[in-house]
Amino acid sequence: MGVWIVLVLLFAILGGVITYKLSILRWMNAIRASSTCTLICYVLLAYTAGTETANTYTSIFFGGSFVGMTSSHRLSSKGVVAAACLFGVISSLLLPFLEGVGGALGVCAFISVSAVHLTKMAATRLSLKMRNP
């Protein structure tokens, strides 16, 4: 169980960060970055670990890439890492209950990005209130 969650977090972070960094490039948008990275991840995993393992971890990578598709105005690189970690945890908890439901990865990614962004906004407001009582 411990190794599995570490791999889930690793693939979620990789999907998020690689997509985020590639989507900033002028010739690459977020959709191209997500689909290209996910395809490469699947081919590499299918070749090295088999299709069952590739299906499992590529879906986590793909969901992580949804996190990485967020705007750089909304989340920084650190924010993407935090949201991808949160995505890994949330998807591990929710996906077994949402099996067969379309959009489950996107919902988990949305919850993760929203939680990190709202936490960042709340911390900024609290910081401003502390400076100017």
Judge whether residue 70 has pLDDT over 90: yes
Is residue 126 predicted with pLDDT exceeding 70?
A: yes
Confidence of residue 128 (pLDDT cuts 50, 70, 90): confident
Backbone φ/ψ region at 84: left (φ over 0), alpha (ψ -120 to 50), beta: alpha
Tell me how crowded residue 76 is: count the other CB atoms within 10 A of its CB.
13
pLDDT at residue number 133: 65
pLDDT average, residue stretch 18-23: 96
Domain locations in the chain?
A: 2-131
pLDDT at position 101: 82
Q: What percent of the chain has pLDDT over 70?
A: 98
The arithmetic mean of pLDDT across residues 49-71, rounded, is: 95
> Which residues are CB-contacts of 106 (< 8 A; sequence separation ≥ 6)?
63, 66
What is the average pLDDT value for the chain, to the nearest integer? 92
Instruction: Enumerate residues 6+ apart whose C-beta is below 8 A from 13.
Output: 64, 81, 84, 85, 88
- The pLDDT assigned to 99 comes to 81
Asked if residue 9 has pLDDT above 90, the reply is: yes
In degrees and rounded to multiples of 5, residue 71 shows phi and psi of: -70, 145
- Token duo for residue 11: 């693939």
**pLDDT value, residue 102:** 85
| Confidence at 130, pLDDT banded by 50, 70, 90 | confident
